[in-house]
Structure 1
Amino acid sequence: MRATIGPVSDKALTEALQRLLANGLIARERRRTAPPHVEYALTALGSSLMNGPMRALADWIVEHGDELLAAQESAVSQPA
């Protein structure tokens, strides 16, 4: 998971996973192997979020990302 999400502190990762679990978006399965480890997977609810509104947001960003960045850069360069 860390390779996919990039650098993040243990505390931040733990807190994010706890929020996702509490909201029913992921499931946690403890594996009794040597060494023991835990696996996380999207629930049906989590999949519906990823394939619905999150997919729509990603599509919007692809379509409008350049405009969004231009607006942000313009706002930073203009005095308040």
Structure 2
Amino acid sequence: MDDDSGPAFDVFSRACPSRGTLEHVTGRWGGLTLGALYEGPVRFSELRRRVDGVSEKMLSQTLHALERDGLVHREARHTSPPRVDYELTPLGRAVTERLLGLIELVEGRMPEVLAARERYDGVRGGR
């Protein structure tokens, strides 16, 4: 990139900050959290139920990382009891739209994946 838009980023470079963000987005809980937030603002407990299997600690860490990267907005409401909502930022929506395309592709092609696994396991003696 040789224009005035700032430094060029290269996710394949160990020192590039984009690598950390990519890990937050594509990690086990990051992608699922972003996908769940695409449906609209949710409370922590609702999000935890939607992302089946995530612990409270992991969801909290994931949300902090995504918020730090500017993908998620956290809004604390001073009500009784206190209420905290999470939602995607415009950047988070743009990233998640692409992520959802990948999720839909994987889900739609699972019969092929399962058949490939079966062939692989048949040759290798299972896992």
Question: Normalized against structure 2, the TM-score is what?
Answer: 0.54
- Counterpart of 2:102? 57
Q: SS of the counterpart of 1:20?
A: helix
More helix by share: 1
1:43 pairs, out of 89, 111, 124, with 89
Q: Offset at 1:70?
A: 1.8
Per mean C-alpha deviation after superposition, the further-off stretch among 61-70 and 8-17 is 61-70
Q: How does 1:1-80 map to 2 (within 5 A)?
A: 1-51=47-97, 53-79=98-124
Q: Which amino acid aligns with 2:48?
A: R
% identical equivalent positions: 34
Give structure 1 regions of 4+ aligned residues with deviation exceeding 4 angstroms: none
Q: Which amino acid aligns with 2:78?
A: R
Distance in 2 (alpha carbons) for counterparts of 1:19 and 1:5: 16
May I ask how many residue pairs the two structures share in their alignment?
79
Gaps of at least 5 residues in structure 1 are none
Question: Normalized against structure 1, the TM-score is what?
Answer: 0.80
Q: Which amino acid aligns with 2:73?
A: A
Distance in 2 (alpha carbons) for counterparts of 1:73 and 1:24: 41
Gaps of at least 5 residues in structure 2 are 1-46
Cα-Cα RMSD: 1.8
